[in-house]
Amino acid sequence: MYYYIRLLKNTPLEAVIQEPFKMVFTITTDLTEKFYESPCKLRCQTVVRTPSTAPGATPDDTIMTVMPQGLSQGYSLDYDPKIGYCSVDLRMAPCMTIYDECQVVLSLDPAPYTSNNGKALIAPPEYEILPAWSLPIHLKPAPLNFSKRTKHRKVNRKYLIDTRQDLVERYFKLPPHLTGVHGPGRSLLVREDANEGFMARHIWDSGVFMTKHLMLPDSWLSKYMREQDKKALEASMAELSVAESTGAGAVSTESTTATTVTSIRPKKRVCLELGAGTGLVGIAVAAAFPELSVLSTDLDEALALMQQNVDANRALLPQNNMEVGFLDWAEKDRQCEPVEILLLADVVYNDLSHEFLLQTVLDYSDERTKVLLGYKFRHEAEQQFFERAKEHFEIELVHEQDTMQLFVLTRKLSSVPVTSAQLHPLPKEQKANQQESRPKYISAMSKPQQPSPPPMSNRQRKIMERQAEKNRLAAAAKRSSSTSSPNPNSPNNPSGENTSARTPFREAELQFLARHPVPDFSLALDFRLPAEELLRRYPKVRRARLNGGRSLSQFSELFGFKETKDGQDQEEEEYAYLHEDHPGLIYIPAAFTPAAQRTLIKGCLKEYSRHPNKSSLDTHYKVPSSGLWDLHENVYLKKQSPDDPAVFVPRKADVDNQANGYGSDDDDDDDDQDGEQDANGNGKKQETGPRPKPQSQQPAAKKSKPSNPPQRRAMVPITNETPTVPDNVPKIDPEPSSQVPILPPSQLIRKMRWITLGYQYHWPSKTYHFDQNAPFPKELCVLSKAVVAAVDNDGEKGEFPYPYPAEDFVAEAGVINYYQLKDRLMGHVDRSELNKHAPLVSFSFGHSCIYLLGGPTREQSPTPILLQSGDILVMTGPCRSAFHGVPRIIEDTLPGYLQQDLTDPEWDIYADYLAEARINLNIRQVYPPKSSTTTTATSTSDPIVTTTTTTTTALDTPAE
């Protein structure tokens, strides 16, 4: 395992001598899922490059010189794992004036680990910590008048690959046998993205592991290349002997051998790298084996940085034997040829892409191809890839270190070539459309005759995940038509999961989850269409007047008053819509005015997010009682510096009183967003497969926990017929983790997923804390009661079939969901409330989304609804127990009135958040009313039966 020094705040592009600038760093693993847990000392140095004066040196050859006095202050830094990051102010010393640029290097300080007699003063770190190099900093001389200091130019730190401040450099020393070839002092330089969100542009542990091994003279690849050269030489000598025996005449042995070797080898010995990321492994192989032509491939989001790294190492590639290309594993009908070497490093972490990865490896391999797979154990689902690969490949373990292993896969002679079209059959029409819309892979490895691929979305990393699910559905549908019962022991189904068919609800989710090709959002039911067109296009939709034929503003001023062209208030009657397939659904489009939406959005982000209301961040962070939004606002309005330690929310594990003396689970905050369990792959382990995580790498044993910890209570269904308050037993909350990152408020606010109002919700057990009842906002009580009153059954002809008396409705609990553009909410049913008859009222703000509404089971096909900002959705009757979910937030659908407004500067911070977000506010009644009249109906066509139930138990007061 390796740890990486990561720059949370990078150095500037230019710096003035003796002018201060700040650098913030931390130490994490490759995927930033774990911080370095031991204190250590680091050193910060400046490095300058000067032209090399060695004989035969080129203008590009430079000498790196460490300048110990390059910084005005000391260069020894202390890393404290309890804080999780280190902030340091740096100044360039006056001696740096003679240089045009320099780099800042952060590395482990070796001084504490050595002494004069060779004995270590303290134990060295257990794992290797890779240093970080900043990009070159342009130096400017200090101004003559120091009373008017000029600040360095600030750079807008967006998540863009072209922003140089987002990159850090890593150097890897070449082994001695390569320095003799490329010259002394040369190192392999690789830049990686410092941003946490772009994992495809990070250096991963398996890449470092493979790089260090493959460049060694006794590595498996070195032995293989020497063996191939030996075979070629023996073949040439045999051919020479045949020529001499036939009397062909005396021929120069040296020239004949060279000619024969060239004729036996392919003209281009190709090495193809899949999922190359930064290109680290491919560059190392191209530098160590110039006879190989290396092609490193990935999706578009990684290609720009990969090309930069190739260009930065051209001195190590004198043969220009490396290039970069685009390759989508989900591409079908590829025109490709087998290669000699296939490189794969850390590519099996995503089990959804296994099927496409394996097919890509099969497309580019035959029995002569050697597949080098660098693997690091992360989770059990990765075993599925190896189980599938054993059907086609012989797997050999050739090198290992800690949890990292290097495998060599060789194609079995009996393996029948399988094309991507055979693996994923599609109808001819769909296949034709796909070929027209999907860009083709064009590089040195494919047969030309195609134009270069057009640019694609920057979220390419999720394409293969969504496309994999979609193609699984197509294959499952074909299998289900030919067989009635699936075989759970099939080799293509190592987890034993019944994948012969997906439920209709799951199919709809996957349809709108797909990122490429983009789903057809016009398939969703749009209640904003003109009434005549809506009723004509959707015959099952029915329009109903609100109670008394009034407008919502007459029920409550919180909806806002809509103005006509002459400036007068508009009080015309408004309508709601019902759907025959979903009895109990009530949809009120465009219910709020823009001003009313802004008011409620401000409340959801600021007022309602304060304590005692709980948020999703409270488990692991010590969020101040004033809420996180105030910190974000202070930084946004420049009332506080973004580098001020006071604006960083500390981890709860670091500040809480550790009276119990035991740690926390690192994966408590891991949510399976898809609502499906990962396949365990618990089949019989093979000797050639990857071994499980060794005992030495298991997490350290935790200290003993208090005896007799509280147990999670059993979940007992509760109905309105027998309203009973559950026993108020303690519910186990997830323990705070010390591994969550410490982020500035602008980033942490976008990681908040929910806020609970009123009765606080216990997410692990999906029940309420009946002893934790925060004051419910009064305006939301009025607003929700007004909606219930508007859809009461007092209206004309009893248009709403499942009414609920407005006087009985009490807003007792609510959830505010905060969605970012890539978030989704998978299908579920709300069953936690004791009162199942009371309606659930939902308000939507921000970007539009696809809302799936199904039936009591996932077997009923859901109806996709286009849910837009300002709409109200009410779930009553049977609809209250229907499966529903939000599989997709639609980009670029934020209404103009919620975007930046020059006339209202105070709205800018809210518009900035909503530019990539959606907010949903839903309100529920938990307890049945003390005395209520409940109306039920067996169907939409049956006469309504009214039953009066008087409840005398004190359910309006939580049980103690």
Residues tagged in the binding site annotation for Fe cation? 828, 830, 884
Nearest CA among 880, 819, 733, 742 for reference residue 80:
742
Q: CA 623, CA 863: separation in Å to the nearest integer?
A: 39
Residue 417 sits at φ, ψ, to 5 deg, of -55, 130
User: Helix count (H) and strand count (E) of the chain?
Assistant: 20, 36
Q: Does the CA dihedral 809-815-821-826 come out positive or negative?
A: negative
Q: Which residue has the tokens 């219910």?
A: 591
- What contacts 144, CB < 8 A, 6 or more positions away? none
CB 545 within 8 A of CB 796: yes
Q: CA 526, CA 524: separation in Å to the nearest integer?
A: 6
CB 169 within 8 A of CB 190: yes
Q: Does the N-terminal peptide bond of residue 504 adopt cis geometry, omega within 30 degrees of 0?
A: no
Q: CA 339, CA 576: separation in Å to the nearest integer?
A: 63
Structure tokens at 674: 């898809």
Q: Which residues of 205-241 are buried (b: 16+ CB within 10 A; e: fewer)?
A: bbbbbbbbbbbeeebbbbebbeebeeebeebbeeebe
Output DSSP code: residue 481: H
Q: CA 315, CA 309: separation in Å to the nearest integer?
A: 12
Output DSSP code: residue 337: -
Q: Which residues of 620-659 are buried (b: 16+ CB within 10 A; e: fewer)?
A: bbebeeebbbbbbbbbbeeeeebeeeebbbbbbbbeeeee
DSSP letter for each residue of 34-79: SB--S-EEEEEEEEEEEE--STT--TT-EEEEEETTSBSS--EEEE
Q: Which residues participate in the annotated binding site?
A: 828, 830, 884
CB 139 within 8 A of CB 92: yes
**Strand ranges across the sheet with 322-326:** 322-326, 292-298, 269-274, 341-345, 370-376, 404-411, 393-401
Q: CA 322, CA 294: separation in Å to the nearest integer?
A: 5
Q: Which residue has the tokens 């025996």?
A: 245
